[in-house]
Structure 1
């Protein structure tokens, strides 16, 4: 989802981010990405992730990730995401597109 200034979640993310460079007037908000446990480890998460962000007009992307979800965190770190703050009980992560 493309998030713009004034959108509820984007504005909460802007408040939580350590650097505003990630949260400009337009960013891609990755809402939820999951792979069924029976299908994990087959590259589906990487493929889905890459297709999801491909061609976005936004210069950056944001998502939240439960810090206990190590497989998801490993996927995101491996795809260039970095933790830029906390939003509630979740890590706020961002990457350039």
Structure 2
């Protein structure tokens, strides 16, 4: 397993500063895993975007939701850093 690191992900900068770090066998696996887990993260971090039944509040938040996923796709299209020793030290963020 490898650690793949997308530093200062723009999809997270709109909401806060953050990086995406994924453990996976290949870069493509890491991209797919990050994309799959983004929905869990966004539902936790932006719960007010969603109706009681779990659907997006299209009238109020569809543009924000679509914008997040557009930026996520752009971020994941970039070449990530490969963290070969499997150790990450996080000092702070922007």
Q: TM-score range by the shorter chain?
A: under 0.3
Structure with greater strand share of residues = 1
Larger Rg: 2
TM-score (norm 1): 0.27
Q: Which has the higher contact order (CA 8 A, sep 6+)?
A: 2
TM-score (norm 2): 0.27
